[in-house]
Chain A
């Protein structure tokens, strides 16, 4: 992963060599790359499982794998994709790399804790992988009791422990980000001069801090219940399995915003850069991130509408759920309005941004369906919900992640990727995604329950369409892996600011030096002031 051959200047990549210089690094940029490597592995693993699931569902009889295996596949797909890919994806890779750069700091506030976070993710991941190879786990990523505590005969303990450990990785990353934003901003970098990417990560970090510990204690109780046979959630002792669901979703609903908020931050940067306009309604977009983080904690009960939760609690949670819709809508409207009278170009990151806005719009609007009590009773636990959250997490979070990765790739590696291939793969991903998941909305409303290994034959046509889409999507995801790797050696050398963007990260060379800035910048403008980059604009065209 070295570019030393063409780069004389010392940067964070060539400052030191050897495996030890990576495994013991305290540099946030190197740690970001460690994360990138790790989560790419997990993404590939989760992707293989998704492919197997989709192939299995080609036929209604469930011929390819046994139902035990199928149940383990969707469980491990969920566990890996959520806890070991999506949650760390944008914050731990792009956020880690960019947050100090964007606010003009030399590093995060606690570099050692940052490295520890990565090790915790690796240890947690190793535990989850151990569980997987030892025999797998079949509870669903939701671990609903009493199935997970008293009935499943699979590797629940190891998996729960793995997620528990990975949870601390997430908590510490969030803690690091919050302290960094509060204490490490460069002179002149006031709160309302911060890029929206930083605002989004700050909001995300708050959720990580306030939500993740509740998941940790919930998993710990599951662990105790299996190991010591104490029965906090056991109905046989008078325990309440619905209490588990409350605790679980208190984290796991806000966790959705841990995945999507950073992606929204990325999209704000992309839309602004490639239309050369400040984000329309900057303050509203910034505050909408905070509003989503706060309101996101008040709605978890909408996962429990048919769980025997009280009718009145259901109504309160449904009512509050609509409040989260508004800040999300505000973002979409403001991005769209930013394009107005802009100077729009269509480089790959912008294609991902367009894709994100489109898919997030559909994902968000179908969120209104599942927040509505009358409809949710019908569609919950069906493919409608599966489609809805994949539109948010794959169509939203992964589109944002890939868009951001393309946008900052020249900064991270000092190299450009091949633009033609990148545009092609963005297009393939968008089309493949829609073909995979749109049919699932129809399947869900027809009544196809989720987590079904064998299904009724009338659903087959839509399942075949979905599987076809998944194979297209797989191609779309493989392409970047190939051309990114290719670009490390053969890519065109990138300048400090190849997009004529305004952020501080573009004011330092690509790849950045070890301490980010040769001289700590003094900030005098708000984010997205394109008059400050007039020189670069002329070069870029």
Chain B
């Protein structure tokens, strides 16, 4: 049986579908009215006598204005409604579960915070908001799950984010939606939405690579980052404890928020945003660490929350936002 409508399996799916129904209703109304008018006029005013020249009908300004203003009003609803969904899609909730995605020609590489890694498959528990932080090793890809009605490009050189809460247990298509080369149509996979219990079992059953933060810590030591970035702030470079999510004062006078993108940039292009009061001493790690490795480092730095009374100044609110 050929399906004619996709399954709804995320929090966004019903919202997008309701908007679709509104648009369909408006479109069908207009189509019917226009088609009916054309058919009616074409028959009623068909040429009956040769050589007839009908009288010109004068333009009705009121009519013209009406058929500009009314459709415009209807479209503004489309805009507002669509924008509100989009706004929601752009703001993952704080309690979302973090999963990291790296796209490359032609596969999806996925890392869970607990350390599980998957290729072209993603297992998630039902009912929990999932936040994906994504990047690409080569060209632009796009992470598309039709059943969730979401899609976001995966762009080399930067992080992109998407989120959703799966609402229905099942197995759903994952497609790459941005043309990425020869085997673009082979860059597909499956999303497995599981009952929380099953998901826990899956987590426990897989081979353990150690958690993502642990891997990041190991990498941090292998690359000798700690020689300069000392935990107590005594090194030549700023401490990374409690850094994530905090505003950072730069040498240029600007302030940026230390999000995933900032940390990635600072590892790969350390000169781009130098912290105020520090020298641009750090070498670039471009080519020395993979995108997956960078994501592990990011997760490790995220996990560096200050211990109470350790001396680094962080407000309790910031600590709270760090707890997963």
Direct interface between A and B, CB < 8 A: yes
Mark A residues whose CB is within 8 Å of B: 62, 67-68, 71, 138-140, 142, 144, 146-147, 150-152, 235-236, 238-242, 275-278, 280-284, 305-308, 311, 314-315, 318-319, 322, 325-326, 329-330, 332-334, 336-337, 339-346, 354, 357-358, 361-362, 365-366, 368-369, 371-378, 380-382, 442, 445-447, 449-456, 458, 460-462, 530-531, 534, 537-538, 540-541
Name the distance in Å between B129's Cβ and chain A's nearest Cβ.
Answer: 17
B82 → A minimal CB distance (Å): 3
One of A449, A455, A531 near B176 (C-beta < 8 A): A449
Residues of A within 8 A of B41 (CB): 336, 339-340, 342, 344
Q: How far is the CB of B157 from chain A (nearest CB, A)?
A: 3
Indicate if the CB atoms of A368 and B23 lie closer than 8 Å.
yes
Measured between beta carbons, the chain B residues less than 8 angstroms from A442 are 4
Q: Which of B136-144, B239-247, B275-283 contacts A (4 or more CB under 8 A)?
A: B136-144
CB-CB under 8 A from B53, the residues of chain A are 276, 343, 530-531, 534, 537
B29-60 contacts to A (CB < 8 Å): 30-31, 34-35, 37-38, 41-42, 45-48, 50-57, 59
Q: A151-B181, A530-B56 are in contact. List 14 more A-B contacts (CB 8 A).
A: A62-B185, A147-B139, A241-B157, A277-B54, A283-B59, A311-B90, A322-B72, A371-B82, A372-B81, A375-B20, A377-B86, A378-B16, A381-B179, A530-B54
Known contacts A306-B153, A330-B64; is A339 also within 8 Å of B85 by CB? no
Known: A447-B173, A456-B173. A318 touches B3 (CB 8 A): no
Using known A-B contacts A354-B42, A372-B23, A381-B178, determine if residue A541 contacts B57 with beta carbons closer than 8 Å. Answer: no
Q: Report yes or no: A374 in contact with B178, Cβ–Cβ below 8 A.
A: no
Selected contact of A381 from candidates B19, B20, B27, B144, CB within 8 Å: B144
Nearest chain A CB to B120 CB, angstrom units: 14
> CB-CB < 8 A to B83: which residues of A?
315, 318-319, 373-374
Which residues of B in the span 56-87 have a Cβ within 8 Å of any Cβ on A?
A: 56-57, 59, 63-64, 67-68, 71-72, 75-76, 78-79, 81-87
Q: Does B146 count as interface, using CB distance less than 8 angstroms?
A: yes
Q: List 18 A-B contacts (CB under 8 A).
A: A147-B180, A151-B181, A235-B155, A275-B45, A306-B142, A307-B140, A308-B152, A329-B71, A358-B35, A372-B82, A373-B82, A374-B19, A381-B179, A447-B144, A449-B176, A451-B179, A537-B51, A537-B53
Bound: A449/B175 CA distance, A: 7
Interface centre among B41, B176, B188 (most CB of A within 10 A): B41
Among residues of A, the one whose C-beta sits closest to the C-beta of B82 is A372
Whole-angstrom distance from the CB of B7 to the nearest CB of chain A? 10
Decide if the interface of chain A is mainly helix, strand, loop or mixed. Answer: helix
Q: Point out the residue from B38, B82, B184 that lies within 8 Å of A336, measured CB to CB.
A: B38
- From A138, A325, A339, contact of B71 by CB (8 A): A325
Q: Which residues of A contact B182 (CB under 8 A)?
A: 67-68, 71, 138
Q: How far is the CA of A4 from the CA of B29 in the complex (A)?
A: 53
The answer, yes or no, to whether B131 is at the interface (CB within 8 Å) is no
Cβ B157 vs Cβ A368 within 8 A = no
Q: Look across to chain A and name the residue whose beta carbon is closest to the beta carbon of B88.
A: A374
Q: Which residues of A contact B315 (CB under 8 A)?
A: none
Q: Which residues on the A side are within 8 Å of B226 (C-beta)?
A: none
How many of B's residues come within 8 Å of A, CB to CB?
86
Cβ–Cβ contact B23 & A446, under 8 A: no
Interface centre among A240, A337, A537 (most CB of B within 10 A): A337
Interface contact A326-B185, CB-CB below 8 Å: no
A361 interface neighbour in B3, B34, B146, B173, Cβ under 8 Å: B34
A391, chain B: closest CB distance, angstroms:
12
- Interface residues in B1-27 by Cβ distance below 8 A to A read 2-6, 15-16, 19-20, 23, 26-27
Please tell me which one of the listed residues A277, A369, A373, A462 contacts residue B20 in the complex, with CB atoms under 8 A apart: A369
Whether B269 sits at the interface, judged by CB under 8 Å, is yes
Q: Does B185 contact A451, Cβ atoms closer than 8 Å?
A: yes
Whether the Cβ atoms of B85 and A373 lie closer than 8 Å is yes
Pick from B27, B86, B150, B173: contact of A365, CB below 8 A: B27
- B215 on the A face (CB < 8 A): no
B112 touches A (CB below 8 Å):
no
> B302 contacts the other chain (Cβ, under 8 Å)?
no
Q: With A306-B151, A307-B155 known to touch, is A280 a contact of B181 (CB < 8 Å)?
A: no
Q: Would B2 and A361 count as touching, CB distance under 8 A?
A: no
B144 touches A330 (CB 8 A): no
Is the CB–CB distance between B87 and A311 below 8 Å?
yes
Shortest C-beta distance, B267 to chain A (Å), equals: 14
Which chain B residue shows the least CB distance to A321? B79
Which of A62, A322, A366 neighbours the largest number of chain B CB atoms within 10 Å of its CB? A322
B127–chain A nearest beta-carbon distance, Å: 21
Interface centre among B15, B50, B86 (most CB of A within 10 A): B86
For A306, the chain B residues whose CB sits under 8 A away are 142, 151-153
For the complex of A and B, list the 6 residue pairs with the smallest distance between their C-beta atoms, beginning with the closest: A447-B146, A235-B157, A374-B85, A372-B82, A541-B50, A373-B86
